[in-house]
Amino acid sequence: MRKLTGLLLMGGFVLYLVALVPGMFAPETPVSLESIGKDIIATTERVSGSANVVTAIVVQYRGLDTLGEVTVLFVSALGVAILASGFKDNVFKTMFAADDGGFVLQYGGRFLMPFIVLIGVYIIAHGHLSPGGGFPGGVLIATAVFIVILTGESVKIPHRLLSLLEGAAGLGFIGLGALGFLGADQSFLANTLPKGEFMTLFSAGFIPFIYAMVGIKVASELTTVVAVLTQAPHHDTAKEEGRP
Amino acid sequence: MVSPMLFIIAPLAAAFLMIFINRRGAALALSLLTPAGLAILGVSWLPATLVRAQPIVVASIKAPLGIPLSLDALGAGMAILVAVSSVLIVLYSSSYIHRGHHEVRYYAVVMILLTSAFGLVLTRDIFNLFVFFEILCISSYILVSWEQSGAALEASFKYMVLGSIGSTFLLVSIALAYKAAGSLAMADIAVAFDSAPRGYVIMAAVTFLFGVGVEAAIFPVNSWLPDAHSSAPSSISAILSGFVIELALVVTFRVLNTVFAAVDVLPLLQIIAIAGVLVGEFSAFGQKDLKRMLAYSSISQIGIMLFALSLGSTAGAQAGLSHLLMHAGAKSALFLIAGYFILRTGSRLIDDYTGLGYRMPVSAALFGLAALSLVGAPPLFGFFTKFQILAAAAATGGGLAWFGIASILSGTVLEAVYLFRVIRVLFAQPAERSRVEMDLPALVSVALFTALVVFGALLLPSLSSMIGPIADGLATLH
């Protein structure tokens, strides 16, 4: 039975791939598909002021999807935090707490941390110029914390500060988007800030600011996830469970 | 007028603000006021949308380069339903949800669920639909697993596995559509599919149906529902059964009916719907657990709605939407009351509720009214909506329609038997008579839901002038 299901799924997948081969079964690639790409490249500079077309698409052309993706991450991180608080036993905790990484690793980790954060900030700040942006930059910053935890150092994570940052960055994203309501079209996420000089650091209107918000949000959320997974069950929750 | 974008922004901002403030009072106030404000916004937009749909441009970029959104009469109607239901359910939650350090997070996740619900009805872009669909799924998984009991975690995990498979199917369908149209705007895809090979469109339509169908609890892909709806907190069961599956159903149907209009999926939908009615009612009949029984009943009610919508006639669509309104009120009330039955007796089994009607007379009476309306007893709202559906099916004619009528009628008999069984147990001779009525906020919330199903029939005349444009939303993409 299981083999049959597997075979059917494989068959379906092959059929799907075949369907996407041009001319086999699928309609030919329509003209509009080519024109959309060209239209976006042609209008990027005027509409967004961003030298990086991918960033322009992510933050401006499909900014609502990006807000959605930020929300997906936010709600997933919330879910992990809620689930982790219910852990009775945690493999991650024993894995990290059991052995101290040793002097060399700990100092190496601490030494690396500021550099990784710096690269993360650089990637976020240059999202509108070069590949990168808020998501990878934010992940890098969270990695810096993770490396320190990996070395076996006991890190005190400021949970309240992280949730403050998380909430503030989310509100900031929405606030920057709402600036669009002040523009001529009164349209959410319209880029109404001054565009600056093309191809320079201070350009692209609100795109760097949005990416900064995304960066802060991703960094604080992933740090929270890493922290709750490696440190759960918390002492305070353990105490609460002990209560009658 | 205030931009309809607020439907998406406001609950999201409220969720972020709650996490920022992290106080129970603030979270509760925000989650009551936001949907209340949005209900007013929905009502203020309704007259304009009844005349014509109101397009929304995001980021000053029009489709196909940007993401098109639009508020039509159907969207406004669904938004009002979602907003009002969530105000009442949050009110109920304020006394029902266990106070603890996660309470703020509970309200934040509910607000995010609302964002996705509003987004789903507003969007006219198929990838944006996917994004909101994902948010809806993830927030539902979290809320289902809320109590973190073994059953809740298992249900949530099952739901997550099925939901993820559904998302993959949906993504496959989107890829196929994008390949054919070169645009993600639903209107462009509909045009492209008109000239695309039939087999290709059928493949895209079927993957779409079974992708989104998971969330809409359409018959073969709804095996997660009984577990999830029964082991979630009752306020969440009410949200999921009260408007989430209905909303997903409406959105699924609208996309199938417009974007995939090149293939006639209606007969397939009718067969699925009838199967859902029969399977749901027969499964509910055998249940001993009250919330599981209600969950199976939701499967059959979704089947009834889908059957009405897929009749393909105007009368059918209108009747289906009226029934949706009735079911939202009745099922929310039933789940919310069941929540307090469980809270007061500590048991999910119907047999343990012997004589509870004497200890919680108001709750039991409201339960009875909502159950009667669900079955379709005159003169309650449910009688009229079910009657309209049967009349619309009879007017359509054809073997499938008559088979559907027979299934709904026999399903109604079963439904009456199992719901009356519950009522009989509630009013059996009690062992003790101490009063354990619901808390006041919960009672108010449930009473308002029940008022909808009791007096809903009085709304029908005024609804009849609106239902036309609202039902048109199922067949147009404006």
Q: What is the pLDDT of residues B406-461, one digit of tens each?
A: 999 999 999 999 999 999 988 887 777 788 888 888 889 999 999 988 888 888 88
DSSP assignments along B149-162, one per residue: -HHHHHHHHHHHHH
- Please report where in the chains the tokens 């029939």 appear, as a residue: B457
Strands (E), chain A: none
- pLDDT beyond 60 at B29: yes
Residue A98 predicted with pLDDT over 60? no
Q: Which residue of A has its CA nearest to B111?
A: A75
Distance from CA of A27 to the nearest CA of B (A): 6
DSSP 8-state assignment for residue B305: H
Residue A233 confidence class, pLDDT cut points 50, 70, 90: low
Interface touch A185/B3, C-beta < 8 Å? no
A103 found inside a domain: yes
| Partner-chain contact B61 A36, CB within 8 Å | no
ipTM: 0.90
Whole-angstrom Cα distance, residue B100 to residue B317?
44
Interfacial B residues in 227-286 facing A (CB < 8 Å):
none
Is the model's pLDDT at A51 over the cut of 90? no
The residues spanned by each domain of chain B are 264-478
Q: Which residue has the higher pLDDT, A118 or B179?
A: A118
Return d(Cα A140, Cα A222) in angstroms, integer. Answer: 10
Within-domain flag for A16: no
- Angle A65-B131-A131 (CA atoms, 0-180°, nearest 5)? 45
Structural domain includes residue A240: no
Question: What mean pLDDT comes out for the span B349-366?
Answer: 87
CB atoms within 10 A of CB B93: 28
- As a whole number of angstroms, the distance between CA A172 and CA A175 comes to 5
By CB atoms closer than 10 A (0-12, 13-18, 19+), residue A153 is: middle
**What is residue B90's predicted lDDT score, i.e. its pLDDT?**
92
- By Cβ distance, the residue of A160, A178, A180 closest to B59 is A180
User: pLDDT at position A103, please?
Assistant: 82
Chain B 11-50, CB below 8 Å of chain A: which residues? 12-13, 15-22
Q: What is residue A244's predicted lDDT score, i.e. its pLDDT?
A: 35
Q: Is A22 helix (H, G, I), strand (E, B) or coil?
A: strand
- Residues 111-140 of chain B with CB under 8 A from chain A are 112, 115-116, 119, 127-128, 131-132, 134-135, 138-139
Q: What is the distance between the alpha carbons of residues A137 and A128, in angstroms, rounded to a whole number?
A: 13
Q: Check whether A145 has a pLDDT greater than 60.
A: yes
- Rounded to a whole number of angstroms, the distance between the first and last alpha carbons of chain A is 49
Percent of chain B scored above 70 by pLDDT? 99
Give the sign of the dihedral formed by CA B55, CA B191, CA B166, CA B334. Answer: positive
Q: What's the token pair of residue B430?
A: 């009690």
- Look at phi and psi of residue A157 and say left if phi exceeds 0, alpha if psi is from -120 to 50, else beta: beta
pLDDT score of B84 more than 90: yes
Token pair recorded at residue A112: 């690396």
Q: Mean pLDDT highest for which of A124-138, A149-163, B92-106?
A: A124-138
Answer yes or no: do A47 and B61 touch at CB < 8 A: yes
Interface of B with A in 281-320 (CB under 8 A): none
Helices B314-345 and B440-472, packing angle to 10 deg: 170
Find the range with the poorest average confidence among A143-157, A228-242, B188-202, B219-233.
A228-242
Q: A-contacting residues of B 130-189, CB under 8 Å?
A: 131-132, 134-135, 138-139, 141-142, 145-146, 148, 172, 175-176, 178-183, 188
Which residues from A are below 8 Å from B180, CB to CB? 26-27, 30
Question: Would you state the pLDDT for residue A47?
Answer: 78
Higher-pLDDT residue of B108, A96:
B108
Residues in Cβ contact with B97 at an 8 Å cutoff, skipping those fewer than 6 apart: B103, B106, B233, B235
Q: What was the pLDDT predicted at A236?
A: 47
Measured distance CA(B478)–CA(B475) in Å, rounded: 9
Which residue in the set A19, A33, A40 is minimally distant from B203, CB to CB? Answer: A19
B128: nearest CA in chain A?
A: A65
Size (chain B), residues: 478
Q: How far apart are CA B56 and CA A43, in angstroms?
A: 21
Chain mean pLDDT for chain A: 80
Residues 6+ apart with CB under 8 A from B102: A82, A85
Band of residue A96 on the pLDDT scale cut at 50, 70, 90: low
pLDDT at A238 over 50: no
Q: Calculate the CA dihedral of residues B105, B231, B227, B219 and round it to 10 degrees.
A: -70
Across the interface, of A40, A78, A181, the residue whose CB is closest to B109 is A78
pLDDT exceeds cutoff 80 at A22: no
In which element (H, E) is residue B29 found? helix B24-51
For residue B82, pLDDT over 90 is answered with yes
pLDDT value at A242 more than 70: no
Query: Considering the domain boundaries, does residue A241 fall inside one?
Result: no
**Sign of the CA dihedral with B447 first, then B449, B451, and B453 last:** negative
Look at residue A116 and tell me whether its pLDDT is greater than 90. yes
- How far apart (Å, rounded) are the C-alpha atoms in residues B79 and B39? 7
Q: Which of A40, A75, A164, A228 to mutate to test the interface with B (most CBs of B within 10 A)?
A: A75
Burial-class residue A156 by CB neighbours within 10 Å (0-12, 13-18, 19+). exposed
Q: How far apart are CA A106 and CA A117, in angstroms?
A: 17
Contact B438, B445 (CB under 8 A): no
What is the structure's pLDDT at B394?
A: 92
Which pLDDT belongs to residue B120?
Answer: 92
What's the number of domains chain A is made of?
A: 1
**Given this model, what pLDDT does residue B476 score?**
81
pLDDT-derived band of residue A243, with 50, 70 and 90 as boundaries?
Answer: very low
Quote the domain boundaries for residue A169: 51-234
pLDDT in tens, B123-175: 999 999 999 999 999 999 999 988 888 888 999 999 999 999 899 999 989 98
Counting one residue from chain A and one from chain B, the pairs whose CB atoms sit within 8 A come to 179
Q: Is the pLDDT of residue A106 over 50?
A: yes
> What is the pTM for the complete model shown?
0.91
What confidence score (pLDDT) does residue A24 get? Answer: 60
pLDDT at position A37, please? 79
- pLDDT value of residue A93: 65
Closest of B322, B285, B337, B348 to residue B458, by C-alpha: B322
